[in-house]
Structure 1
């Protein structure tokens, strides 16, 4: 397994290794990820063409991509099969074959049971030695990748594996691949929050917490980075205000400002995190701008801090921008963790996805435990997300959702900076 920071060359190296094996002998190789759309975007249309051009010039001209069954055939008859482990029909088609190589890309997103099922197809008889490749940005120490490849223990029984030499692990970090990266990208990784910097820059596994409501692997499994989103039946802009006077006020907590959507597929989507230290007029304007940009249905704001003042901030911002908004106040009558637990359960039930990477928000979510919040400051971003999703999910069974015009939500495809595109 190759593990480490973002864009360290892990995928490129394994695709090159598979190509060398495939060209040496006629054989079949499976390249799998949790979601099929992700493997199409990241490997089929990105990494594979780069590897072919740089390492095997001329071979691509004699090769063919079958877009019906999604396999890549080489001149010597070898085949590279691409698939996702999240769709039963596709999994059955992929696992109907035997392979000389199995490659689980971004395996932190793949459940242990799915990995075990895939390994049963690593059985093709060829002159090649059977091999399984894995790569990931390291999740938590409770994940099966850490237990199997670092601790050399069976993830189920927690006992030492019989052949530890079969589970080699290699740390690969972006600074080792600096010659192929923009220096500004490395600087952006270094500037991330501490937990995200450890994961995406230093390639370190996060400390395990059996009481955490969210884990990095849970968020990863439901994350959407590549591919389109369903139509949104309802969108809300959720606000968790604070007493901050402006960006320069480092003593007060941030204002939580998160956009959430309810898809016509019945799932929730966290679309954008705009939280920060903002004066009242600033966050009011930011909320109204997000309301317009996402064509939202309502602004939901927690009123424990400020009461009627919060409603007035929203209405004044709307008046400045010349629009009228639907405003829904919410009031916290229970503790943070009690409010968070049912939302965390929705993630576990695969009913909510993060659309992009939200480092600061994810830090706060992972710091919420059954014993309380263990982060350094108030979880304003997480609170805003929880308010937003809580306002959407009670309405999921209402028949009127699923009726109306199409809306293409704006989604975050960047890291800490908010780059936007239409889905």
Structure 2
């Protein structure tokens, strides 16, 4: 079959060919943005002997998404046979082409790796998933867009749109300096194009498109419609903050502790639309000292059903305990988990290990130290959690501004608070001493039990 660009990718090519040096493609998920820019870099590299760099915030992410996925696809479809004479150096991680051109791959979060890559000059820089990349890191990379070749210097950028406060919006949509908020000196040097999944539907499974359209409204606007979010300056979490540490591909570290956190509600079952959902979130502590959000099982379930869901998650993730907020229901919550424990393959003393927690402060006071963990880049979302992310972004210093209770967010906060007890006063031990996180010597998801 002959390869053919989509009409929107042809428009992307036209923008790439313009006089603008800085070109961004933003929009929904799997809209062909990355494919178009990887193809453009290869065309330039094959045209003249030159050096190019493809960068992302984390190296493991660019290795999985571009080096081992998009790049081989582009070579096969657009440059058949050329790959036979190319070589991927897996020590320094660069791709050499038959004419001597090189494409280097790097993560901007690795200081040693970054210094090595940025010790060279490039004819093209491609910053992938810019919502994860801090503006200072972008500026540092741009200083290396300086290789003198017959090619015009070009910088490519792509992203699923974060909030309007992000530097991508200010630089490419408002055409303003993100730091000084003043108009850029040469607005014609910056160009942008919106590319959405609908533009690439010929290459996508219809069920995937249906999934995107059925997401929550804010996630639908971002991943289907490709719109930047209008976020408040008082938000504890923003889309770019969640994106910066998100893991969609790549390996996780070994987990030293895993908890299933529960935020109960009075919901009677799936048909009970008036009550809030039961928040059920699985959180892990890696041997790297960072927190990981592994699964969100929240929903409208009867007490028996959510008890089974909790115990099933406990067994599946080989968790250490269940943490449940007991302000609502108190002993009833423990009884639901005790009853469901009969089905557990890993119960201890007749039930799964359980620890109740009690809210002594308001939601925002509990949320602020956990939001600080995200600011300190100590927590990663493992995948997309649309409903929970909506709730997190609706938490502000002035209060929760969402339409319903932040049940999923509350469960996540309880889970992380149990993994990082020094962040919360309610976990203080005798005389105010902090309870340490216990490292039980576990390995990955299969951990040795006493």
TM-score by length of 1: 0.95
SS at match of 1:262: strand
2:51–2:124 CA contact under 8 A, matched in 1: yes
Distance 1:118 1:403 in 2: 41
Q: Which residue of 2 aligns with 1:418?
A: none
Q: Write the mapping of 1:18-417 to structure 2, written as runs, cut at 5 A.
A: 18-321=41-344, 323=347, 324-394=351-421, 401-408=438-445
Distance 2:169 2:442 in 1: 46
Q: Deviations over 1:130-184 (max 9, x none)?
A: 0000000000000000000000000000000011011101000000101000111
Distance 1:47 1:350 in 2: 27
Distance 2:354 2:344 in 1: 15
C-alpha deviation, 1:297, in angstroms: 0.8
Distance 2:270 2:319 in 1: 26
2:259–2:319 CA contact under 8 A, matched in 1: yes
Q: Which residue of 2 aligns with 1:413?
A: none
2:257–2:439 CA contact under 8 A, matched in 1: no
2:170–2:176 CA contact under 8 A, matched in 1: yes
SS at match of 1:169: strand
SS at match of 2:341: helix
SS at match of 2:191: coil
Gaps of 5+ in 2: 1-23, 424-433
RMSD of the TM alignment (CA)? 1.4
C-alpha deviation, 1:403, in angstroms: 4.3
Q: Deviations over 1:311-359 (max 9, x none)?
A: 0000000024463211111111111000000000010001111111101
C-alpha deviation, 1:405, in angstroms: 3.4
SS at match of 1:204: coil
Q: Deviations over 1:59-90 (max 9, x none)?
A: 10011000000000000000000000010110
SS at match of 1:42: helix
SS at match of 1:18: helix
TM-score by length of 2: 0.89
Distance 1:171 1:31 in 2: 21
Gaps of 5+ in 1: 411-423
Q: Which residue of 2 aligns with 1:420?
A: none
Aligned residues: 410
Distance 1:128 1:320 in 2: 66
C-alpha deviation, 1:231, in angstroms: 1.2
